[in-house]
Amino acid sequence: MITLNHYLVLAAILFSIALVGILRRKNLLLLFFATEIALNAINIALAAFSKYLGDLTGQLFAFFIIAIAASEVAVGLGLLIIWYKRTGNIDLDSLQSMKW
């Protein structure tokens, strides 16, 4: 039987992988992926607590996080495409300033 601890361990592992990805990456696209993994880890924890407590509040928060993450990715990828067209790379080192 899968208990609350299993879900929380999975969420902690995913969040730690995402944290390492956020701190060590130089590529903006991989930074977006790591952020999405962190948000999904939070969603797993919220859904697990929601199931454990018998309340739908955690699932409702997870739904809103998914909606906000989708809009964040749409805007972020749009900016990333514009940045790639102007500079030719998507490294974080090229973002010294946002002057065009």
What's the pLDDT tens digit per position in 7-63? 999 999 999 999 999 998 788 888 889 999 999 999 999 999 999 999 999 999 999
Please tell me the predicted confidence (pLDDT) of residue 88: 84
**Domains annotated on the chain, with CATH:** 4-93 (1.10.287.3510)
pTM: 0.84
**Higher pLDDT among residues 18 and 76, named by residue:** 18
HEC profile of the chain: CCCHHHHHHHHHHHHHHHHHHHHHCCEHHHHHHHHHHHHHHHHHHHHHHHHHHCCCHHHHHHHHHHHHHHHHHHHHHHHHHHHHHHHCCCEHHHCCCCCC
In contact, 83 and 77? CB cutoff 8 Å: no
CA pair distance 62, 56, nearest whole angstrom:
10
Please tell me the predicted confidence (pLDDT) of residue 84: 87
